[in-house]
Amino acid sequence: MSEILEQVKTCPISQISPLHPDLLRCPYEMNRRLRAESPVHRDPLTGIYFISRFDDVVAMAQDPTTFSSVMPAMASRSINSDDQEILDIMAQGYPNVATMLTQDPPLQRRYRKFVDGAFGPANLKLLEPFMERTSHFLIDQFAASGRCEFLTAFGIPLPLRVIASQIGLPDSDLHKLREWTEAFIGNLSQQLDREGTLRAARGIVEFQHYFVERMEERRKAPQDDILSKVVNASIDGETALNNAECLSMLSQILVAGNETTAASLTEGIWLLIQNPGQYALLEADHGPEMISRLVEETLRISSPSANMFRRTTKDVTLHGVTIPANSVCFARFASANLDDEMFKEALRFNIMRDNLKEHVAFGRGIHHCLGAALARREMNIGFRVIFERLKNFRLAPGASQPDFAPNALLHGLTGLDIAFDIR
């Protein structure tokens, strides 16, 4: 166990930064202490305020007037760096524009309405056969070997293939889409060194140029896909979205549309391996109701969107602490989902708990995840096909315990080497 994980048990909470890489990998004890001792916690290194209790996180999410989503420059290192080489790379691309996730009403609603229909019930119903075929196809690639690295073999490619099909991109470009997803994730992580920041900046600019070419194709010949909807949209029927606005929306759809679902699918398998009693319940009954329970409890425990930036528009006093106007805050969704005041024995993975769907893994309020229904559908179908085809999941022989990547906003395993039997 690292030194900081030992210190977090005993050191004064005011002296500990939740953004330490080891506490981003393993935040559970830190979150417990924050909820108990410092529900409004000012990070001693960055000055960011961490809000950690369930009720407070929900209140933040439902009050965009006080807690704005339009962030200052510090929220994106590579785009706002003072490093000239990074600035030169970014100058070859397009400026960062606040749109859906990073915008407030009324503009937030105007941007979001152009893509809401793509994730509606009718369209998702049409997608189900593709999700099922893709799940079987992926399992076909590794089933005979009796083992796989689950994240790269199934967790990543299932949602990536689905969102690529919805955006309107060919399978031949899937590897590029994953590389660009990792560039955006790295940029969000607040953990990159200079070389990593340079790579992320190059990846973001490459993403932009690729999509500008695809956007021009859709302007000339629209198709029935998200890309066509975005580039041919207009705000209130007057002003067409410019390239920078389109790129902002597409980057959010791409990253949110594959990274978080990949993380939850993978952690779901790891949770079952760690909890044989819960695994036995699913082995005995892996019908739709039980699979749905697995999905919701996995989302609660995994909380792949662990934290989300907000900015105060005025002074806010909470639990006796005054947060000044224009302060950066973290809505700590992962902590809220493990709040014992909301979820009995919150750290326990329990697919039979009564309030399964009351988690905030998809946020709340106007920024409730655009792709929540899509992610749930992918996970339900993915897990169902997995249970139809495979059984007896376990860590692969010689595999080390899986670890989480340090990231300021997202939480997910770096990999999961498993063995299994064919059903």
Cis-peptide into 21, omega within 30 deg: no
Whether the Cβ atoms of residue 155 and residue 138 lie closer than 8 Å to each other: no
How many CA atoms lie within 13 Å of 277's alpha carbon, on the beta-carbon side?
5
* 90 vs 212, higher pLDDT: 212
Class of domain 46-422: mainly alpha
Whether the Cβ atoms of residue 66 and residue 45 lie closer than 8 Å to each other: no
**% of the chain residues with pLDDT over 90:** 74
Q: Categorize the per-residue pLDDT at 81 as very low, low, confident or very high, splitting at 50, 70 and 90.
A: low
Q: Which of 35-44, 170-179, 231-240 has the lowest mean pLDDT?
A: 231-240
In angstroms, rounded to a whole number, what is the distance separating the alpha carbons of residues 400 and 416? 9
pLDDT value at 152 more than 60 = yes
pLDDT value at 72 more than 80 = no
Q: What is the pLDDT of residues 215-224, one digit of tens each?
A: 999 999 999 9
Whether the Cβ atoms of residue 59 and residue 363 lie closer than 8 Å to each other: no
Q: Which of 28-32, 86-90, 325-329 has the lowest mean pLDDT?
A: 86-90
Nearest to 256 by CA among 177, 200, 154, 181: 181
Q: Which of 2-6, 75-79, 348-352 has the lowest mean pLDDT?
A: 75-79
CA dihedral sign, ordered 377, 178, 135, 170: positive
Q: Name residues whose C-beta falls within 8 Å of residue 368's C-beta, 6 or more positions apart in sequence.
A: 362
Instruction: Give the distance between the most distant pair of CA atoms in the chain.
Output: 63
Torsion of CA 116, 118, 119, 122, to 10 degrees: 120
Helix, strand, coil percent values for the chain (each to nearest 5): 55, 10, 35
Mean residue pLDDT of the chain comes to 92
Q: What is the pLDDT of residues 256-286, one digit of tens each?
A: 888 999 999 999 999 999 999 999 999 999 9
Angle between helix 121-142 and 157-167 (nearest 10): 140
Distance in angstroms between the alpha carbons of the first and the last residue of the chain: 37
pLDDT of residue 75: 45
In angstroms, rounded to a whole number, what is the distance separating the alpha carbons of residues 36 and 46? 22
Q: Categorize the per-residue pLDDT at 235 as very low, low, confident or very high, splitting at 50, 70 and 90.
A: low
Q: What is the pLDDT of residues 102-118, one digit of tens each?
A: 899 888 888 888 787 77
Question: Phi and psi (nearest 5°) for 50?
Answer: -105, 125
pTM score of the predicted model: 0.94
Q: Categorize the per-residue pLDDT at 78 as very low, low, confident or very high, splitting at 50, 70 and 90.
A: very low
Q: Categorize the per-residue pLDDT at 119 as very low, low, confident or very high, splitting at 50, 70 and 90.
A: confident
Q: What is the pLDDT of residues 326-344, one digit of tens each?
A: 999 999 999 999 999 999 9
Helices (H), 221-242: 226-231
Mean pLDDT for 193-210 is 92
Q: Categorize the per-residue pLDDT at 403 as very low, low, confident or very high, splitting at 50, 70 and 90.
A: very high
Q: Name residues whose C-beta falls within 8 Å of residue 282's C-beta, 6 or more positions apart in sequence.
A: 272, 290, 291, 294, 351, 387
For residue 406 the two structure tokens come to 């340090």
